[in-house]
Amino acid sequence: MATIEHSEIIKASPERVFDLLRRVEDFADYSDLIHSIDSLGENRYRWHVRAVGMDWAFDVAVTEIEPPHVLAWESLEGVKNQGRYQLREVPEGTEVALTLQYDIRNRLMEKAVNKAAKPLVGKVSRQILERVESRLNG
């Protein structure tokens, strides 16, 4: 599995940041690449994403919830992936660290995705965290 990591500091308390990140359906409001997220019940969601010129859909389950420090998930169908937000209080507010792992079984597609994935995930992560911070401080 390929791993991508990104962290950012948000000027708000971990509790306030976690409360927004916990609302998984709202992630579509935080990134232009996420078209929609449907709740399937029981902490399960279907994500609809447009990336590298393709539409992607995958189902995920939230696997770990430890307010206000950890929110983790893994895919159930579609693109095999798992991710984790780790929140830590710092003097400036909250450091939010994202770790995302994914596995694409088609070699040709994997090459294209790997080339684009790190900058793409970094962009999406920055966009999400900037919009979360904007919502918290706006």
Domain that holds residue 118: 1-135
Gyration radius of the chain's alpha carbons = 15
CATH number at residue 94: 3.30.530.20
Question: Which pair of tokens denotes residue 4?
Answer: 């991508």
pLDDT digits (tens, 9 = 90+) for 42-98: 999 998 988 777 788 889 999 999 999 999 999 998 778 899 999 999 999 999 999
Reported pTM: 0.81
Instruction: Please give the full DSSP string across 42-87, using - where no structure is assigned.
Output: TTEEEEEEEETTEEEEEEEEEEEEETTTEEEEEEEESSEEEEEEEE
Q: Which residue has better confidence, 138 or 106?
A: 138
The separation between CA 50 and the C-alpha centre of its own chain, rounded to angstroms, equals 14
Domain count, the chain: 1
